[in-house]
Amino acid sequence: MCWITANYLRANKISAKDRAGFISAIILALTNEDSMLYKNAKVAIDAKNSSKSKTLTDTIGESAITLLKNSLYDIWDNKDRIPKVKRDALEEYYNGILVKSLLNEPDGLEKCKRYYKYGDNVLSCCIYSVYENITTTLQHHTDLDIMGTFYTVFLRYAAGDAKDKGIVLTPKHITELFCDIAEHYLGKKLDQSTKVIDIACGTGAFLIAALNKMDSNINKATISEAKKKKYRKDVRTNCLIGVENEPSMFALAYANMRFHGDGKSNLYCCSSLLKDKDTKGVVDKDEEGHNVSLIDQLKNKSGNIDVAMVNPPYSTDSPTDKKKGEKQSGQTELDFVYSMLTYLKKGGIGIAIVPMSCASNKGKGMRDTILKEHTLLACMTMPPKLFQDSKVGTSTCIMVFKAHIPHKDTDKIVFMSRWLDDGFVTVPHNGRFDKNNQWTEIKAEWLRQIKGISKSDDTVFLKRIIKTGKEECLAEAYVETDYSKLTDDDFERTLKKYALFLYMQENDLSEE
């Protein structure tokens, strides 16, 4: 349905950057079963189905925008009762999408007739389609990152959108891997007693993964069903914290968390960077009407934050005026790592997936600053095509830290590995998939390596003392080369690449 929906929205001139938000507004509004929007859609679809008719009487029509907004307002004001600051951010974003042109007669129906059959205008046609194909089945697929899936697909049809914004959407199997890594280094299962934060949450993929892991652990516990229900509610009310500075992504995260049973009360639309002026800006009001900053909000949370996960926006421009060893002005991925770790309690676990440069010589200044306050536990190089679906070719690694314990005060041993194959293959026009069902065993092997129970292989992984942040922490710098795996084809391929490099250099050709 995603591909057909993208075509329908394109045919009706809904911009690429607004498509996922447009869909989220409709899905969110249709979760309000008390709204006139939901009731009208249900009555119209039920009447069509009961009469087995191929046509539908559009009872939403010209009132589509008003009905949709009223449903959203009812959710925000009466059901979720979200703070005014968050409500204003959501209203401003959705008002920019829900414009009068949506009441025009829809185009492109012939190519999209499988899902877009009913409705007199662009919006009502989409509302009936979402109700019939998504709303009625959404509750059966709560383990999916609904908005993340939509946004990933739409970005494929919007060349440059992801790269220009530095947006890299984390694949679902990697968000789940983060949870397994967190449990190992935390030494306990993620459950209702664990608080998790993502300071650049995007569509909420890490929070959804953590929520699903907590639910799974609670369901497996030998406790009463009443306690399980209470604990699952506690998870949604207290355990998941997300911060997102991009209004469109914040709206998607809010919708996504709501689809998964709440969690929206701990979402904030602001910057999480400690050196960013917006971090000290207003994100809420206290009971007396006084302004409350993000840091104040997090300090006021009962208990402490145990785990942080982040896939920060990847830098499109590198600062040229920075000094080595200083925290950056908010333009680099390591600045997000530094801020992320600051929010954690002492001994908390912070996990970030960042460009490999953050772990190499290029990032040594800021990395050294981080290790003066925190401990580096592990660094794993990831598959080179991991973010192919986001049309971003950045080579990445996962870095794991223990918060507020200086690296020099530990044994300084860091686990490093080359996790270059996750078993996923690229299927043309559909993205990367675990086509041959290899991921489960590959992930199990990766986790065995971290736990120290895998068969030793110094060409893939090792443990090494890293004394300061100025030393590289990539496995590539230390693992042995397995020459037995090299072939004549490898030699030929390398020579061709080098020849091409020399040709481009001599002719002053850009790598673009």
Ordered domains of the chain (ranges, CATH): 2-140 (no CATH), 146-275+303-477 (3.40.50.150)
Q: Is the pTM of this model over 0.75?
A: yes
Work out the pLDDT band at 328, boundaries 50, 70, 90: very low
Beta strand 240-243 pairing with 196-198 = parallel
**420: exposed, middle or buried (C-beta count within 10 Å: 0-12, 13-18, 19+)?**
middle
Residue pair 402/446 in contact (Cβ under 8 Å)? The answer is no
- Inform me whether the pLDDT recorded for 20 exceeds 90: no
- pLDDT at residue 251, rounded to an integer: 87
Q: For 297-324, what is each residue's pLDDT tens digit?
A: 776 665 589 999 999 988 654 444 444 4
**Poorest-confidence range of 43-52, 96-105, 138-147, 206-215?**
138-147
∠ CA 241-258-36, rounded to 5°: 150
Question: In terms of C-beta distances under 8 Å and separation of at least 24 residues, what long-range contacts does 149-154 make, across chains too?
Answer: 149/2, 150/2, 150/5, 150/19, 150/20, 150/23, 150/24, 151/20, 151/203, 151/252, 152/389, 152/390, 152/431, 153/2, 153/3, 153/6, 154/2, 154/6, 154/16, 154/19, 154/20
Work out the pLDDT band at 135, boundaries 50, 70, 90: confident
- Inform me whether the pLDDT recorded for 194 exceeds 50: yes
Work out the pLDDT band at 287, boundaries 50, 70, 90: low
Element (H, E) at 376: strand 375-381
With CA atoms as reference, report the closest residue to 255 among 456, 128, 93.
Answer: 93
- pLDDT at residue 268, rounded to an integer: 87
Q: For 426-445, what is each residue's pLDDT tens digit?
A: 887 677 889 899 999 999 99
Amino acid at 197: I
Mind giving me the DSSP string for 450-479?
A: HHT-SPP-TTTEEEEE--STTS---GGGTS
- Please give the Cα distance from 450 to 452 (Å, whole number): 5
- pLDDT at residue 327, rounded to an integer: 46
Mind giving me the DSSP string for 205-230?
A: HHHHHHHHHHHHHHHHSSS-HHHHHH
* SS3 state of residue 81: coil
Residue pair 275/329 in contact (Cβ under 8 Å)? The answer is yes
- pLDDT at residue 276, rounded to an integer: 62
Q: Which two tokens stand for residue 84?
A: 């005014």
Residue 452, CA distances (Å) to 196, 410, 414 in order: 26, 18, 12
With CA atoms as reference, report the closest residue to 199 among 311, 72, 33.
Answer: 311
Residue pair 76/133 in contact (Cβ under 8 Å)? The answer is no
- Inform me whether the pLDDT recorded for 88 exceeds 50: yes
- Inform me whether the pLDDT recorded for 156 exceeds 60: no
Q: Which two tokens stand for residue 269?
A: 């639309």
Residue pair 137/145 in contact (Cβ under 8 Å)? The answer is no
- Please tell me what DSSP assigns to residue 154: H
- pLDDT at residue 293, rounded to an integer: 72
Helix spans in 131-259 (H)? 146-156, 161-165, 172-186, 205-220, 225-234, 247-259
- Please tell me what DSSP assigns to residue 300: H
With CA atoms as reference, report the closest residue to 90 among 267, 271, 250.
Answer: 250
Residue with more model confidence, 277 or 189: 189
